[in-house]
Amino acid sequence: MNFYLGSLSVSTKPDMSDKRLPIDVIRHSASHVLAQAVISFFPEAKLGIGPAIENGFYYDFDLDTPITDEMLEKIEIKMNEIIKEKQSFKHFDLPKDKAIELMNQKNQPYKVELINDLNLSSYSFYENGPFLDLCKGPHCENTIRIPAIKLLTVSGAYWRGSEKNKMLQRIYGTAFHDKKALKQFIFQQEEAKKRDHRNLGKQLQLFSINDDIGSGLILWHPKGSRVRHIIESYWRDAHFDANYELLYSPHLGKEDLWKTSGHLDCYQENMYTNINIDNQDYYIKPMNCPFHLMVYKSHQHSYRDLPVRYAELGTVYRYERSGVLHGLMRVRGFTQDDAHIICRKDQVESEITDVLNFCVQILKTFGFHDFKTFISTRPEEKAIGDQQDWDMAQSALENAVKSADMDYEIDHGGGAFYGPKIDIKIKDAIGREWQCSTIQFDFNLPEKFDMSYINSEGNKERPYMIHRALLGSIERFFGILIEHYNGKFPTWLAPVQVQILSIVDKFSPQCEELQKALKAHNIRTNIDTSSDKIGAKIRRYIKEKVPYMIIIGENEIKTGVLSVRKLGSNDTIQMTESELICQIQNEVTHKGQLPTKV
């Protein structure tokens, strides 16, 4: 069943006698308590929707008075008072005319709009205390079953997500089974604010977004570009080692290409306006897939040629509403680490296994070791392809996950219409989960592009195709890395690995000589010979999160031994030049396999 409020989908009504209620039920019940509390302060408020969401709940209000932080605290106090009253959640149904009449009496026009749009024979309502709402539930049996709540923020949200509609005030909150879990969540949220990649990106001079260029379009600064180059260089080398061939494809293609692929029928609202060139319509690419297939089709393949593995760091452009853009995490132009594997049926399972192992290898190298895996199976409606192929593909995905000894969950019916998939979520240093990697079967494009190979009997046969992204997008993955490491990149990723600090300007020649020696070993090194005091210099490069600082003064010149300070330590240790080079090279060689404090 689905809530009328556009919130949580629930397959069955939970057993309300269960001592530990489903967290979504608790959160949805808390959203009703929130609305009741707001109306107690602002009886004129018009109610929007109030769903449970991934980490909590929200409710939208049409209210002329801005909700301040001070008001938010008062609303939360009122919510706790309501919870202690042990108000029962009572359910009843009304026919359409009576439902509209009731909501008009309550002066709730948004609810009337929802009733008219749903066009059902009867409408479900829930009532607790003096509060009543159009809602299909389910809810706790009473408010005391909501153990721990916290209101978080207020933001603007267009009614029903359309910029053509009025902007409402959206209050976000969260609820948990106990106060300990709530306290952990609040700590995580506070830590996340400290690690916000947008602030760190500015502080560390990694990237920026400029309104004169356009929202959702990233400017990579020199230090950010250096990290991106390191990421991409590792990615390319790893793909060559894994027997992929790298491709480059154009940023736009003719209209007919997108018609063949189906993007103009199913995805046009996310594509940018067509460009007319020589009386032909072109579209900026939202995906790389069609280009890779055209490379495959440029000549006939034999069964001996398969599998073919194409990979590309291809920049694509997709329309996103301005309200959802968020730093590097949600952008309009991004570089996807795309790959397509074209293979025979007998190669499917081994290719999936290899991709999954490759994916885990890549993610571990970047410092992620905690994964959650989901297998999404054939949807009930609109799926294309034979059931036999779906069964084979789903079995191959499940066998690959089992062989990798990874825990997984089945998302029944959650696959795309064109094939099942594996999704991998990574857990960062503060316990947040991020969706990055996807391994996706496609029974659609090989058919649409009439792909083939010559089988062992000399006949044309349709190959199988696997889409695959490991990092998701370079931009988003970089944002995740910034927050995971709190800007303290491990030595192999750091844009500057060593900062040389001279105590006084006269030691500049020795600093330059040391820099030259370190650069000869591919160690990224900068010099600061400014007249600032050494304490100020040290504080500056701690703030810039440089892994190593070398202090050059009279004693270092006399002894030839370096004074080295590692990020995160208050102590200065003595090392020879060769010892320092060896230590940094060891960290670079082992990459994410060495423990890093984040």
For the chain (length 598 residues), average pLDDT per consecutive 10?
34 47 96 98 97 95 96 98 97 96 96 93 95 95 96 94 92 96 93 95 97 95 98 97 97 94 88 89 95 97 98 96 90 96 95 94 94 92 85 91 89 89 94 93 93 97 96 96 97 97 90 96 94 93 96 91 94 94 94 60
Q: Quick check: do 23-189 and 498-593 share a fold?
A: no
DSSP assignments along 337-375, one per residue: EEEEEEE-GGGHHHHHHHHHHHHHHHHHHTT---EEEEE
> According to the model, what pLDDT value does residue 418 have?
87
**What radius of gyration do the chain's Cα atoms show?**
29
CATH fold label, 23-189: Threonyl-tRNA Synthetase; Chain A, domain 2 (3.30.980)
Cis check for the bond before 147: say yes or no (omega within 30 of 0): no
Quote the CATH superfamily of domain 498-593: Anticodon-binding domain (3.40.50.800)
CA distance 495 to 504: 25
Burial-class residue 362 by CB neighbours within 10 Å (0-12, 13-18, 19+). buried
Place of tokens 């709190």: 486
> What is the helix (H) or strand (E) element at residue 278, kind and residue range?
none
For the annotated catalytic residues, the residue numbers are 289, 318, 336, 338, 340, 421, 467
Locate the domains of the chain by residue range.
Answer: 23-189, 201-246+288-485, 250-285, 498-593
Q: What CATH class has 201-246+288-485? A: alpha beta
Q: Three-class SS string for 143-169?
A: HHHCCEEEEEEEEEEEHHHCCCCCEEE
Burial-class residue 243 by CB neighbours within 10 Å (0-12, 13-18, 19+). exposed
CB atoms within 10 A of CB 372: 15
